[in-house]
Amino acid sequence: MIVNSIQNINSWITQIHNDFKAAVSVDCVIFGYDDSSLKILISRCDMPPYENELSLLGDLVHPDETTDEAAKRVLLAKTGFDDVYLDQVQVFSSTDRHPLGRVITVAYYSLVKIDDDHLAHIGSNDFLLWKPVYEVSSLAFDHIEIMQTCLRKLQKQLREQPIGFKLLPKKFSLLQLQRLYEVILNIKLDKRNFRRKLKSLGILKELGEIQESVSHRPASLYAFDEKIYEKKKKSGFSFEL
Amino acid sequence: MIVNSIQNINSWITQIHNDFKAAVSVDCVIFGYDDSSLKILISRCDMPPYENELSLLGDLVHPDETTDEAAKRVLLAKTGFDDVYLDQVQVFSSTDRHPLGRVITVAYYSLVKIDDDHLAHIGSNDFLLWKPVYEVSSLAFDHIEIMQTCLRKLQKQLREQPIGFKLLPKKFSLLQLQRLYEVILNIKLDKRNFRRKLKSLGILKELGEIQESVSHRPASLYAFDEKIYEKKKKSGFSFEL
DNA sequence: CCAAAAGTGTTATATTTACACCCATGC
DNA sequence: GCATGGGTGTAAATATAACACTTTTGG
């Protein structure tokens, strides 16, 4: 016997327009990398019963936008950037996850460069702060679970896609890049092997510039070459660390 | 300036309970493997304007269940199995994707063994059919896009997780397994290298049984050893094809 | 001259690829 | 006896892992 819960079109219409509606939100785990540590941008929560907690940045999805668009809107509002990297991670839909009613949320993670422009943008806002991921131990709602799931996805993606660059300044040294991988993946990498590997991928361009005013031998600077990467990708190349 | 669209708790309550509600559904791409081909289970669609099309199996998410539970419910109703492999893939939320109103859908793919029990279960149902993936060129709603996204995810997962076994009978030959990988990934594999690789992973147990009544030398039969796999996974082993 | 990071090669090991023939069974 | 898939090993090429010292700069 087939149990078919969709009886007919009238029951569909009733259900879509009345019985089975839920609020849908997006929640963004916004990753930034600064001072050799991976941070997330979080906000003071103003909703009971979580008034004294911190929470991820999110909002309800409006009737006229997709969830991707809603996530972009939240990102633009909170970081001031509209070209951030966004990755849809997972839906969280426990029936009791939100105190005010049924809210199904779509989790995204995003990668931003924490630079001076950006810090100026959020600087005046008392409700926003960057906090090292490994120091975030409690958040409102089910946001800790969302954060952990997004962190695992970031770790996986970092090994499979050239996205680490999105957390670094446009110009970076190879050691900076190595440290980023070490911090996020929580592993130790061999300097010589790492450099050989990255160079052999052929997706970095050496800029012919060097670091300035560092109290050690200045490193030469590199940038990620998006065009070459896209070309290589089309001919079957795949990034793998 | 920070644009904060969440003004206060009263506006949240209004939005959650009225303004910004949507229907949420799940859609399942149910993969089965039969007769050396990858198939999906689809249904005749009974909703205008798609009455003459085929569609994925799905339903609205009920107020008292998570999306995972809704997907399980759909699977149980349509296939009769309650222990199927389910993987949440992605949200599809175009504002115009559903003719009857705003319906945000969560796509899942699942893997089932097409066996006699199962065929008996759906046999009498005129609305359900198994169709080879590569012959499905049009579906109702945005279901073609959902199917393609799920197929790509399946292909990726197949290389990273030992899930191919879920599409095969409990006992299988190494060639059956190889054909499955070849068909789903659309590649050609070397017999000797494939066998060496799979055996070296140590997650197959040789059953000491052989095929019966085949018109060629009978192959010995293997089974996936879930326990050993789980043990190896805990100690850092990762499946990779 | 000291501290700090930059930069550079070689060797051993493990993994991957390519490749061809005889075997057992049913008809 | 023939068609069909079952089953096996080796060598070459490639990729990975381990490892230590000299160089350049600022202070």
Report d(CA A18, CA A24) in Å as an integer: 15
Q: Is residue A3 part of a domain?
A: no
Report d(CA A190, CA A182) in Å as an integer: 10
Report d(CA A103, CA A61) in Å as an integer: 10
Report d(CA B45, CA B43) in Å as an integer: 6
Coil, strand or helix: which one is B96?
Answer: coil
| Residue–nucleotide distance: B8 CA to D25 C1' (Å) | 55
Are residue A185 and residue A120 in the same domain, yes or no?
no
| CB neighbour list of residue B32: distance below 8 Å, 6 or more residues apart | B38, B39, B40, B41, B111, B112, B113, B114, B130, B167
Strand partners, A111: A31, A85
List the single residue in A5, A46, A95 with the smallest CB-CB distance to B59: A5
Are residue B151 and residue B74 in the same domain, yes or no?
yes
Query: What are the tokens at B94?
Result: 């175009």
Cβ contacts (< 8 Å) between A19 and chain B: which residues? 63
Report d(CA B63, CA B60) in Å as an integer: 9
Cβ contacts (< 8 Å) between B64 and chain A: which residues? 95
Q: What is the CA radius of gyration of chain B?
A: 21
Cα distances from B34 to residues B96, B157, B176, B179, B221, in angstroms, run: 35, 19, 11, 11, 18
DSSP B60: E
* Chain B residue with Cα closest to A79: B2
Cβ contacts (< 8 Å) between B73 and chain A: which residues? 5
* A46 against A186, higher pLDDT: A186
| CB pair distance less than 8 Å for B17 and A101 | yes
Q: Which protein residues, judged by their CB atom, are less than 7 Å from any atom of strand D?
A: A 190-193, 197, 213-218, 240; B 173-175, 191-193, 195-196, 210, 215-220
Longest dimension (CA), chain B: 76
Are residue B186 and residue B79 in the same domain, yes or no?
no
* B143 against A4, higher pLDDT: B143
Are residue A45 and residue A151 in the same domain, yes or no?
yes
pLDDT at res. A126? 67
Last residue of a domain, one of A160, A176, A193: A160
The domain that holds A204 is classified in CATH as 1.10.10.10
- Under the banding of pLDDT at 50, 70 and 90, the label for residue A8 is confident
The domain that holds B155 is classified in CATH as 3.90.79.10
Asked if the C-beta of A214 comes within 8 angstroms of chain B's C-beta atoms, the answer is: no
Residue type, A46: D
Determine the distance from the C-alpha atom of residue B126 to the mean position of all C-alpha atoms in its chain, rounded to a whole number. 22
Determine the distance from the C-alpha atom of residue A66 to the mean position of all C-alpha atoms in its chain, rounded to a whole number. 18
pLDDT at res. A97? 97
Last residue of a domain, one of A109, A128, A160: A160
Write out chain B's pLDDT in tens, 241 residues.
Answer: 344 444 578 888 999 998 899 999 999 999 999 989 999 999 998 887 898 899 999 999 999 999 999 999 999 998 888 889 999 999 999 999 999 999 999 999 999 998 877 777 776 676 899 999 999 999 999 999 999 999 999 999 999 999 999 999 999 999 999 999 999 999 999 999 999 999 999 999 999 999 998 999 999 999 999 999 999 999 989 999 9
pLDDT at res. A119? 74
Which residue's CA is nearest to the C1' of nucleotide D15?
A197
Report d(CA A59, CA A62) in Å as an integer: 9
Are residue A91 and residue A14 in the same domain, yes or no?
yes
Average pLDDT over chain A, rounded to an integer: 92
Residue type, B195: R
Longest dimension (CA), chain A: 76
| CB pair distance less than 8 Å for B2 and A95 | no
Are residue A109 and residue A207 in the same domain, yes or no?
no
| CB pair distance less than 8 Å for B48 and A9 | yes
Tell which residue, A8, A23, A65, A17, has the closest CA to residue B100: A17
Coil, strand or helix: which one is B207?
Answer: strand
Asked if the C-beta of A233 comes within 8 angstroms of chain B's C-beta atoms, the answer is: no
Report d(CA B111, CA B122) in Å as an integer: 16
Domain span holding position A201: 164-234
| CB neighbour list of residue B170: distance below 8 Å, 6 or more residues apart | B223
Last residue of a domain, one of B135, B160, B185: B160
pLDDT at res. A6? 47
Are residue B185 and residue B74 in the same domain, yes or no?
no
| CB pair distance less than 8 Å for B61 and A20 | yes
Asked if the C-beta of A155 comes within 8 angstroms of chain B's C-beta atoms, the answer is: no
Domain total for chain B?
A: 2
Are residue A206 and residue A152 in the same domain, yes or no?
no
Asked if the C-beta of A185 comes within 8 angstroms of chain B's C-beta atoms, the answer is: no
Are residue A119 and residue A200 in the same domain, yes or no?
no
| Residue–nucleotide distance: B201 CA to D22 C1' (Å) | 44
Asked if the C-beta of A24 comes within 8 angstroms of chain B's C-beta atoms, the answer is: yes
Report d(CA A111, CA A75) in Å as an integer: 10
Q: Is residue B239 part of a domain?
A: no
Are residue A89 and residue A111 in the same domain, yes or no?
yes
Chain B interface mutation, best of A59, A65, A72, A91, highest count of B Cβ atoms under 10 Å: A91
Q: Is residue A67 part of a domain?
A: yes
Q: Which residue has the tokens 């190879």?
A: A174
| CB neighbour list of residue B168: distance below 8 Å, 6 or more residues apart | B33, B113, B176, B177, B180
Report d(CA A168, CA A115) in Å as an integer: 9
Residue type, B169: P
Cα distances from A14 to residues A10, A11, A21, A23, in angstroms, run: 6, 5, 10, 17
Are residue B170 and residue B190 in the same domain, yes or no?
yes
Are residue A174 and residue A95 in the same domain, yes or no?
no
Q: Is residue A241 part of a domain?
A: no
